Structure 1
Amino acid sequence: MSTVMNHSIALDRRSTGAAPAKAATSRIADDRTLLRTAAEISRDLNAPRPAIYWTDLLLSVAIGYGALFAAMTLPSVGWAIVAGMVSVLALYRAGSFIHELTHVKSSALPGFRVAWNALVGVPLMVPSFMYEGVHNLHHARTRYGTVDDPEYLPLALMKPWSLPLFVIVSILAPVALLFRYAVLAPLSVFIPALRRKVVEQYSGMVINPAFRRRHPEGAFRREWHLMEAATSAWAITLLTLVATGIIPLKAFLVFLAVAAGTTLINQVRTLVAHLWENDGEAMTVTAQYLDSVNVPPPAFLPMLWAPVGLRYHALHHLLPGVPYHGLGEAHRRLMKALDTDSPYHKGNYAGLPGLVGKIVRSTMIDRR
């Protein structure tokens, strides 16, 4: 997901120092062989398998909340930290299913969306409406990499200080979400101007600060309001229980720390999900693929920091309809079917350190 849990940050494109010349990626023509082969080899992989989704989600939730409780209650600081780290990874994996919700039809996974929101979205204050209706714009052919893409910033063309700011600010996301749902949401019911601002600027998991979200309509509007009301009630209840001492302050701070850990890992993953080299021009599908990143096996750690298929982010931009459990097989088939000079092979990278280094080096190029 881009962003998959990407939280808004105040990085402005107009002060990035981006080059006025068109990025090379915007001039890449589509590779018809790649697109045709990807479509052909994935025809039998498009159906989501409910048993995999439910088992994965429920195990992640059980481990995540179990470890969170242990982190709150264990007397040993060392073991509490270990439990906290386990909780971060498990809840991060559970949270990453929000990306799947935007691509899989609800009818293919009956009850899964409701269950995800009840178990993850509302408790972690990231209900699915914050991604639904937003992430699909990132996949729009004419929007990707442009100023109209909610999940894109030309990070590789920005100043070097932009990268640490981009990552560090994510730690504040849980506190910002508490404020959004416990304070701004209730107030916005009575203040129309505030409501417009909350909907347009504080209701999407985006990284483009120029993006303004449209107000919801129809059935989605009712679903939005239900999810928002539930999350607001949870946030207010949580703060009330802490203020009255029913929930110990230590337990509350551990919860915030674990939630911050999930957003931090996700922001690091987001940092390397793309090469971020486009300067605003519309791109072909092949160009979008080459500006995105796969971190396939044999690398092991991406299973932790890019779970639920996110390690195949570039492939996902080729085949957004393939569920996460089918991406590994699609990757293996494409690696065998395509020649070594195919653009597909150029979208695969060895791991996190090399990708971070590549983006850092790009920000240090003088483009004046």
Structure 2
Amino acid sequence: MTDTFALKPADAPTREVREPRIRLSGVADDREMMRAAAELTRDLQKPKQWLYWTDCLVSAAIGYAALVGAVLAPNVGWALLAGVVSILALYRATLFIHEITHVKHSLLPGFRTGWNVLVGMPMMLPSFMYEGIHAIHHSRTRYGTAEDPEYLPLAHMKPSTLPIFLLVSVLMPVGLLIRFGILTPLSLIFPKLRRVVVAKYSGLQINPGYERKAPTGEFRRQWAFQETICSIWAIGVIALVATGILPLKAFAIYMGVISGVAVINQVRTLVAHLWENEGEPLTVTAQFLDSVNVPPPSFLPYLWAPVGLRYHALHHLLPSLPYHSLTQAHYRLTEALGLESTYHKASYPTLSGLMARLANNTMKPRDGR
């Protein structure tokens, strides 16, 4: 792990999860907090190239080695253990897709291409599926609205929404195999299908109403390259299984690992925000309050929210800050701002508490809905 785990006396208490929904509409921007965040982190903005490459490569190497270990394991127990290690390591490696969308590529030369070849292609999650999509989620005027591809008012939806939300992630590797192994080559032959594939099946989004526009310029070339290598990979996997070269056991473990990565990420997504906005444009501070930090001393976020994502609210406040700088930024803001500051209102103690809060909110009356 790259985040600092040491505790400091200035750590602020985290919030209880039984609090009522936050009234986000009309929340004014906390200028003092925003100014402190900008001033106290000026020296933390530059990404460390060596750390990005080392962290990603080591995580991927451990993940693939454990995947092979799961396939070759002599019994179910060892296979399960290796599978869990593979899921956690490849989950961490995969989450660098989030960094790719925020850090200037000129500051990390070659990283986007390297990540796509080493991680994006084997996991069938090329970065074009997130680039452009995620930027909208950080838009000052579109966060939490119907135009946000990464937002649904889950706290105001039916309780059945949450298990369905998780079930989708279980089936994600099957969907990706179909997307790149079947729909991609077919869409090159049928223009109408291509328009549908681009609009509805080319983004890591949770808003079913969002439709993506066709790429242009340099991003179009990146998209074409990434989609091509993923399509070749997916077609190759299908062909190897169909011809018996790749045993069904190995294929099932491979798909199971991708499914495991998707499930953990979907659980993390459920607690990345409070999901309490009902479609209105929000101020930066309101967006911050609808987002979540799970700071130390809790240890488990190092596993389910790695690569800085345990500080998701802080990330929405400072989206360009590299993942390895978020811990230091959090401590600086914790020490600089009083306990009554808005900053501390976005910190929560545990994943289970956040899940309970979300589940409880879905069971509240919804004004006749």
By how many angstroms is 1:350 displaced?
0.3
Answering whether residue 235 of structure 2 is matched by residue 258 of structure 1, we say: no
User: 1:90 matched to which residue of 2?
Assistant: 89
Stretches of 4+ moved more than 2 A in 1?
none
**For 1:165-176, what aligned pairs fall within 5 Å after superposition?**
165-176=164-175
Q: Deviations over 1:127-156 (max 9, x none)?
A: 000001110000000000000001000000
Distance in 1 (alpha carbons) for counterparts of 2:79 and 2:154: 36
Matched residue type, 1:139: H
Look up the match of 1:217: 216
Query: 2 CA distance for matches of 1:100 and 1:367?
Result: 37
1:159-185 CA distance string (max 9 Å, x none): 111111111221000000000001100
Q: Distance in 1 between matches of 2:107 and 2:211?
A: 30
Q: In the TM superposition, what is the alpha-carbon distance from 1:126 to its structure 2 partner?
A: 0.6
Q: Please tell me the residue identity of whatever aligns with 1:149.
A: D
Residue 231 (1) aligns with residue 216 (2): no
Are the aligned partners of 1:171 and 1:260 in contact in 2 as well (CA < 8 Å)? yes
Q: Deviations over 1:295-320 (max 9, x none)?
A: 01100000000000000000000000
Please report how far the alpha carbon of residue 243 of structure 1 lies from its aligned counterpart in structure 2 after TM superposition: 1.1
Letter paired with 2:112: R
What letter matches 2:245 in structure 1?
Answer: I
Distance 2:140 2:55 in 1: 31
SS in 2 for 1:26: coil
Letter in 1 for 2:198: V
Asked if the contact 1:68/1:83 (under 8 Å) is kept, the reply is yes
Q: Does 1:186 align with 2:185?
A: yes
Q: For 2:144 and 2:158, locate their aligned partners in 1 and report how far apart those are by CA, in whole Å.
A: 18
Query: What letter matches 1:364 in structure 2?
Result: M
Counterpart-to-counterpart distance in 1, 2:335 and 2:218: 44
Question: 1:96-245, aligned counterparts within 5 Å?
Answer: 96-245=95-244
For the residue of structure 2 that corresponds to 1:190, the secondary structure is coil
Give the Cα separation in 1 of the matches to 2:132 and 2:158: 31
- Matched AA of 1:190: I
- Secondary structure of the structure 1 residue equivalent to 2:171: helix
CA contact (8 A) 1:152 1:207 kept: yes
1:280-295 equivalences in 2 (<5 Å): 280-295=279-294
| Other-structure match for 2:331 | 332
Deviation (angstroms), 1:79: 0.7
Counterpart CA distance in 2 for 1:58 and 1:344 is: 34
- Aligned to 1:275, the other structure's residue is in SS state coil
Which string of whole-angstrom CA distances, capped at 9 and with x for unpartnered residues, describes residues 32-76 of structure 1? Answer: 100000000110000000111011001101100000000011111
**Deviation for aligned residue 1:356:** 0.4
The one-letter code sitting in structure 2 at the alignment partner of 1:168 is: L
Kindly provide the CA deviation profile for residues 91-135 of structure 1, in whole angstroms up to 9, marking residues without a partner as x. 000000000000011110111111100111011111000001110
Partner of 2:351: 352
**d(CA) in 2 for partners of 1:291, 1:314:** 8
Unmatched tracts of structure 2, length 5 or more:
1-20
* TM-score, normalising length: structure 2: 0.93
Q: Could you say what secondary structure the match of 1:27 adopts?
A: coil
Q: Quote the offset at 1:23 in angstroms.
A: 7.5
Structure 1: gaps (5+ residues): 1-21
Residue equivalent to 1:318? 317
Q: Distance in 1 between the 2:126 and 2:168 partners?
A: 20
Q: Which whole-Å CA distance do the structure 1 matches of 2:331 and 2:293 have between them?
A: 12
Q: Does 1:75 align with 2:74?
A: yes
1:194 Cα deviation (Å)? 0.4
Helix, strand or coil at the partner of 1:215 = coil
Partner SS, residue 293 of structure 2? coil
Residues 222-274 of structure 1, C-alpha deviations (whole Å, 9 max, x = no match): 11111111110110011111111111110000000000000000000000000
Counterpart residue type for residue 179 of structure 1: I
Q: What CA distance in whole angstroms lies between the structure 2 residues aligned with 1:247 and 1:150?
A: 36
**Residue in 1 that maps onto 2:4:** none
Give the match's secondary structure for 2:139: coil
Secondary structure of the structure 2 residue equivalent to 1:272: helix
Q: Whole-Å Cα distance in 2 between the matches of residues 64 and 208 of structure 1?
A: 30
- Determine the C-alpha separation between the residues in 2 that align with 1:318 and 1:292: 10
Per-residue deviation, 1:365: 0.7
Which residue identity does 1:95 align to in structure 2? T
Counterpart AA for 1:217: T
The normalised TM-score by structure 1 is 0.93
Q: Contact (CA 8 Å) 1:23, 1:279: kept in 2 or not?
A: no
Q: Which residue matches 1:3? A: none
Aligned pair count?
A: 347
- The one-letter code matched in structure 2 to 1:329 is Q
Aligned-residue RMSD, C-alpha: 1.0
**1:198 shift after superposition:** 0.3
Do residues 63 (structure 1) and 57 (structure 2) align?
A: no
Q: Does the CA contact (< 8 Å) of 1:68 and 1:87 recur in 2?
A: yes
